[in-house]
Amino acid sequence: MKKLLIFALLLFIGFEILTVLADVPFGEDRMNVSKFYLEKSPAELKVANVVTAIVVNFRGFDTLGEVTVLFLAAAGIGSILYRRRSVHTGLNPKRTSTEASSIVQAGAKVLFPLILLLGAYVFVHGHLTPGGGFQGGAIIATGFLLKLISYRKFSVKHSTVTWVESLAGIVFVVLGLLGIVYGGTFLENFLPAGELNSLISGGVIGIIYVAVGFKVGSELTGVLDTLLNISQDEETQ
């Protein structure tokens, strides 16, 4: 029975692939996809960064899948290392052997807010300049990494990280569903596009990139904190 089900599934997949290929106009003039993106992004979406328009709007469902993969990877790492985490006493055993110098600690105090500001700037302006949610979130995570390696007593509240990550993901999905309600397709740009090269432009694109920035930043920060809280005794076993 199992083999029969597998065979039927393969037949169904093969039929669907052949159906799609039969509709491909081989030998005929094809639409220039790159030209379509280059024309539609600034004209209709009012987005100067065409790559952002492709990632968040034209292929926004793929981006949702990528964010989901990142979440699953972070959750997998956390579940694997959870049993190896040291008992939280406010001082990470792995970081007791070496202490950052006063110069590093003073530099971390100065650089930490600046790094967070840079990360926020990158994902807030992702529809106007090179960058976006993934890049901005990674920059924010490096700021927390600097604090984690500079101060042994600095720790990240995973409950807060979980809430931020969850809310960011909910915002992404809700915007996609509202696109179905008001536009007919998932992640349809249903808000006013605004003016080109303006911060308030692109409709839902800017909001989605802010959500992606918070989601990526929180997930990477949680992973880094988990890795740095492994018990030194258990690590050497």
Identify whether 36 is part of a domain.
no
Identify whether 167 is part of a domain.
yes
Q: What pLDDT sits at residue 121?
A: 94
Q: How confident is the model at residue 39 (pLDDT cuts 50, 70, 90)?
A: confident
What value, to the nearest 5°, has the Cα angle with vertex 98 and ends 94 and 102?
130
What value, to the nearest 5°, has the Cα angle with vertex 59 and ends 119 and 75?
55
Question: Are the CB atoms for 217 and 169 separated by under 8 Å?
Answer: no
Query: What is the rounded CA–CA span in Å between residue 87 and residue 89?
Result: 6
List residues bridging with 85 in a β-sheet: 230
Residue 80 has which token pair?
A: 């694997």
Query: What is the rounded CA–CA span in Å between residue 144 and residue 116?
Result: 9
Identify whether 26 is part of a domain.
no
Q: Which domain holds residue 144?
A: 50-235
Identify whether 70 is part of a domain.
yes
Residue 14 has which token pair?
A: 């093969």
Read off the pTM.
Answer: 0.73
Query: What is the rounded CA–CA span in Å between residue 216 and residue 135?
Result: 9
The count of structural domains within the chain is 1
Residue 230 phi, psi dihedral angles, 5° rounding: -75, 135
Identify whether 34 is part of a domain.
no
Question: Tens digit of pLDDT for each residue in 80-108?
Answer: 766 555 444 444 544 444 667 888 889 99
Question: Tens digit of pLDDT for each residue in 182-211?
Answer: 887 888 888 888 888 888 888 888 898 899
Identify whether 172 is part of a domain.
yes
pLDDT of 174 strictly over 70: yes
